[in-house]
Amino acid sequence: MKSFLCAFTLAATLACSAVADVEADLDYMISQQVNRTMFEGALAAQRPLLVGAIENDLRKRGMGVSDIERFLDIFMEEFIDEFTDTMQDEARALYRDSFSDQEITDIAAFLRTPSGQALTAATPKLMADGAKRGQVAGREAGKNAAPRVLRRIRDEGITFDNPLVIDQLIEEFDI
């Protein structure tokens, strides 16, 4: 009986230790991947789209703002910390649902390596550069797709409230 109790105690201690280590690994992953710096990088990458969306929304409401860039800066300063805290909680649940304990441990171990740290440090710049390249690729793909889209709209009988719109677009793209 005494050896059973010793074995049980040892197993329970190891299990608690393993769970604590996974939770520490999860905390580390979140601290490296879901943080203010990452979100600032993502927001910087999306800034032109955000400015346009805010301007459109304000315009729809019959409003304008004297300095849209400063307005966005103020909004982001007030927004980013709460957003980061909320997203860290969401990421914890998402990571728990997406990865096994072993995978969490392995990912955290990678993030602790020099290569993992290099990836973490480069991620905001990669996001910003990727967004810029994505805008260029999107413009080009949109320009190339427009004639095909317009042809299909015409061929499939899709109409607009103003029938001249499609005719103008077809004429513009010389279809």
pLDDT tens digits in sequence order for the chain, 175 residues long: 555 444 444 444 444 444 569 999 999 999 999 999 888 888 888 888 889 999 999 999 999 999 999 999 999 999 999 999 999 999 999 999 999 999 999 999 999 999 999 999 998 888 888 888 988 898 899 889 988 988 898 889 888 888 777 777 777 766 6
pLDDT of residue 14: 41
* Structure-token pair, residue 174: 């010389």
> Residue 104 class from Cβ within 10 Å (0-12 exposed, 13-18 middle, 19+ buried)?
buried
Q: Could you read off the pLDDT of 122-170 as tens digits, one per residue?
A: 988 888 888 889 888 988 998 899 889 888 988 898 888 887 777 777 7
pTM of the shown model: 0.64
Distance between CA atoms of residues 175 and 164, nearest Å: 15
Residue type, position 123, single letter: T
> Token pair 């805008």 is at which residue?
135
> Residue 173 class from Cβ within 10 Å (0-12 exposed, 13-18 middle, 19+ buried)?
middle
pLDDT of residue 69: 92
Q: What phi and psi, each to the nearest 5 degrees, are found at residue 162?
A: -105, 105
Closest to 26 (Cα-Cα) out of 108, 112, 146, 85? 108
- DSSP string for residues in 14-37: HHHHHHHHHHHHHHHHHHHHSSHH
Give 23's Cβ-side CA count (13 Å radius): 6
Distance between CA atoms of residues 56 and 52, nearest Å: 6
Q: Which residues touch 87 (CB under 8 Å, ≥6 apart)? A: 34, 39
pLDDT of residue 10: 45
